[in-house]
Amino acid sequence: MRLWIAAVLLVSGCQVGLEQSGIKGGSGPVPVKTLKVEATDLPVEVSAVGTLLADETVQVRPEMAGQVVDVSFEDGDAVHAGDALAKLRDAAPKAALAEAEANLTLATAQLVRASSLFARANASAEEVDRATAERDLAQSRRDAAADTVRRTVIRAPFAGRVSARLIAVGAQVDTSTVVTTLIDADPLQVEVDLPESVQPWLSKDSVLTLRTDGITPTPATLSYLAPTVDPDTRTVRVRADLPKGTSLAPGLTVQATVQVHAPTAVIAVPAESVTTRADGPMVWVVTDGKVSVRKVTTGARLVSQVTVTSGLNPGETIVVEGLVRLREGVEVAESKPAPAAGTEAPAPAPAP
């Protein structure tokens, strides 16, 4: 009995001591960090990974079968449109051309003679028509023979730079043989799949900013916008042209960022202050020292922030740190920074 009374007295004394020291039995305000919401001018940007493409790329192949007698380029050479890259044996095609030209000369002379006789009434119109047809046939055969001679020379279809040489003198080739790959990499293009949400904001004058390790940010002007959204990835494919003279190579991966509309006054809050629940995103709003849940609608995500398009007004205060202990109506207080390392709170002065 005496032990029980002593325990009661001890507990009562502790409670009195707590009340005298100003600490009540319940927990005090939850320490948090808050932020006053403001509307600021921020560019709304969206980023995605893109790939650099050459403006033109083609596998150069012969237009006819034959034996290679000359190769006039080396690996990686820069070439102009029309430059000869290789030559096939052309003795037979040139002989056929000479024969066709001789036949054309003869047919032309026969037409002149028939026309002269017809003018003097010594030849019929039918003979003139026959001579005209033979001249036209000889002309078409001559043109075909000349085209065969032309095809014995393999030329660059446009200016650019060749890749590796894939043929050698003496090789037998046909129309399926790849001589080399010709690449026009100036200007370059970037191809990127952007989220479907930005599609309404894009136009031919939109500018993408390209970033990758080791280069300064490079602008690229939109040149192609896919007319449809990919139903599987929910993205829209775009291409943009880089300025001439860039030193980048086709196939390089870059980070492409597009500003989908001009900077406007928006509310942007730290991403960690927004909590996503089953019914959508929400934040904790502080009013008169107490917190309450507020549903919000979020927009574009920035590097460390998220834009809020509805649910918050400039001037309101939200909680940005210490969200775990919060409950509806809980009293909160701004947390104080911890003491610097190596410092201690001053010892209480001795009682007089």
- Paired with 160 in beta bridges are 79
Phi, psi of 144, deg, nearest 5: -65, -40
The CATH classification number of 30-43+265-334 equals 2.40.420.20
Residues 6+ away with beta carbon under 8 Å from 246 = 186, 187, 188, 218
DSSP secondary structure string for all residues of 208-246: EEEE-TTS--EEEEEEEE-SS-BTTTTEEEEEEEPPTT-
Does the 45-55+186-262 domain belong in CATH 2.30.30.240? no
Amino acid in the structure at residue 175: T
Cα distances (Å, whole numbers) of residue 222 to 40, 204, 231: 28, 5, 22
Dihedral, 107, 112, 118, 119 alpha carbons, nearest 10 = 170
The per-residue b/e assignment along 303-340, b for 16 or more CB within 10 angstroms, e otherwise, is eebbbbeebbeeebbbbbebbeebeeebebeeeeeeee
Rounded-to-integer distance, Cα 120 and Cα 298, Å: 95
Give the pLDDT confidence score for residue 188 in this predicted structure: 92
Domain ranges of the chain: 30-43+265-334, 45-55+186-262, 62-88+153-178, 90-151
Q: What is the pLDDT of residue 337?
A: 64
* The CATH fold of domain 62-88+153-178: OB fold (Dihydrolipoamide Acetyltransferase, E2P) (2.40.50)
Q: Is the pTM of this model over 0.75?
A: no
> Which string of DSSP letters, residue by residue, matches 84-136?
EEEEE--HHHHHHHHHHHHHHHHHHHHHHHHHHHHHTTSS-HHHHHHHHHHHH
Q: How many Å apart are CA 205 and CA 195, to the nearest integer?
A: 18
- Contact between 63 and 88 under an 8 Å Cβ cutoff? The reply is no
The full DSSP string for 47-94 is EEEEEEEEEEEEEE--SS-EEEEEE---TT-EE-TT-EEEEE--HHHH
pLDDT of residue 37: 93
* CA distances, 162 to each of 69, 85, 154 (Å): 19, 10, 13
Residue by residue, pLDDT tens for the chain (352 residues) are: 444 443 433 334 444 443 443 334 446 899 999 999 998 877 777 889 999 999 899 999 999 999 999 999 999 999 999 999 999 999 999 999 999 999 999 999 999 999 999 888 888 999 999 999 999 999 999 999 999 999 999 999 999 999 999 999 999 999 999 999 999 988 899 999 998 878 888 888 889 999 988 788 999 999 999 999 999 999 999 999 999 888 888 999 999 999 877 677 888 899 999 999 888 999 999 999 999 999 999 887 766 788 898 999 999 999 999 999 899 999 999 987 655 444 444 545 454 4
**Can you give the pLDDT at residue 16?**
40
Token readout for 128 is 């003139």
Of the candidates 241, 278, 266, 293, the one whose C-alpha atom is nearest the C-alpha of residue 43 is 266
CA distance 177 to 238: 33
Q: Kindly report the CATH number that applies to the domain delimited by 90-151.
A: 1.10.287
Q: Which two three-digit tokens encode residue 261? A: 């509309």
